[in-house]
Amino acid sequence: MADKTLLSEQFGPLQGVKIVSTGSLIAQPFGAELASEMGAEVIQIERPVVGDVGWRTIGVRLPTRDGGAPVATSWIQERRNVFCITLDMSKPRGRDLLLKLAARADIWMESSKPGTYAKWGLDDQTVWKANPKLVITHVSGFGQIGDPDYVGRASYDIVGQAAGGMMYQTGYPETAPTRAAPWTGDYITALFTLWSSLAGLTYARATGKGQAIDLAQYEAIHKTLGGTMLEYFQQGIVRERSGNRAQGFQPLDSFAAKDGWVVLGALGDVYDRIVRAIGLDPADPKWQSARTNLESVEGIEFDAILRGWVSERTVAEVVRIMADAKVPCSPIMTSKDMAEDSHYRSRGIHAEWEDLQVGRVKGTGIVPRFSLTPGKVVRGSPSLGYDNARVYGGLLGLAEREIEELKAAKVI
């Protein structure tokens, strides 16, 4: 590893880890950004001129201080701490620059259709010649190998949720399958991207050998379905949509109060507490039968009584009574609710920082909390190519004239 570093200070549990990230949108880059919040040095590569056009512009946008194009709130939130450069890796000089960056990295994360980088002369074996210890994490919709009809298919979050089995179970029986919002499949994949990359790094540091990780988005999503497939293979059961209700016990659902919505649940001994809290006798066999026999007369009656009890009270009243009874319960919170909530405030989850493009902003802070090596925000999201001079000049040692030539040739 080279001694040169882009970070002005060392912090967090991942200090000293260097990551090159060449994907777009969420499924791979968010994993790299999480690492940067924990002290890793992350170089995010975008295409020259156009950049990560989707994540820079999709959704609500904020005006920039210099009067340039407005920037998406998701980009501002999820590209903190990273160093953004532009590079066209399909060109020979771009290929060579990626290899130089890979030689200085611990991990290279990428998301693309299988075969894209090999077509550019950047297959795994070639990259390992530049750095045998490098962990290479390939993120794609359907994997690097498998049924030729699937490998190479394009994918988005909603496609991964559909193919991975999550979407079929999300929603209500009487409605169409619903995606989990906002981009749950992508964020799940990003978490798999980071943990698997760090697992590979642990092995590489112990043995000196890098390896490739084949992470398919639909498989990352599929991995989170609990006993769904065991149920099918062992008993032929296909899990169906059940809304917010649980399978096999009650209550676990959303309930309408006077002024909003709450969720609450009771499993095992907690069931007796909720029965008592709403004024019923938990020793009554009728209510004991209701806990698991959801569609029985008793089960339907209990659900109706509970919903009536909640509807006669405010959200705050329901939450307080259930908290006192030690029954899990929460308001269904909006952005406004979360911003004003006492627990969010006391834990300081919402924080302010200086964004490089739009100025002072407030959003979600660092998660989770480390007692000895906490993560931090050291700078905000960069504009397109913001760190070209810093990376190509300061890290790789290219002369200013050469950088200008690369820019003129649209390599960077």
The catalytic residue positions are 186
What is the distance between the alpha carbons of residues 109 and 129, in angstroms, rounded to a whole number? 17
Looking at residue 214, what DSSP letter applies? E
What is the distance between the alpha carbons of residues 319 and 297, in angstroms, rounded to a whole number? 27
CB 288 within 8 A of CB 299: no
Rg (CA), the chain: 25
**CA nearest 165: which of 229, 113, 216?**
229
End-to-end CA distance of the chain: give it in Å, rounded.
24
CB 134 within 8 A of CB 127: yes
What is the distance between the alpha carbons of residues 128 and 105, in angstroms, rounded to a whole number? 11
Give the ranges where 257-324 is alpha helix by DSSP (H). 270-277, 285-290, 297-311, 315-324
For residue 269, give both structure tokens: 């001994």
CB 385 within 8 A of CB 412: yes
Place of tokens 């293979």: 233
- Residue 65's DSSP bridge partners are none
CB 123 within 8 A of CB 117: yes
CB 160 within 8 A of CB 192: no
What is the distance between the alpha carbons of residues 259 and 332, in angstroms, rounded to a whole number? 11
DSSP string, 345-356: HHHT-EEEEEET
Place of tokens 């308001």: 331
What is the distance between the alpha carbons of residues 64 and 153, in angstroms, rounded to a whole number? 36
* Helix or strand (DSSP H, E) at 230: helix 228-235
What is the distance between the alpha carbons of residues 313 and 117, in angstroms, rounded to a whole number? 59
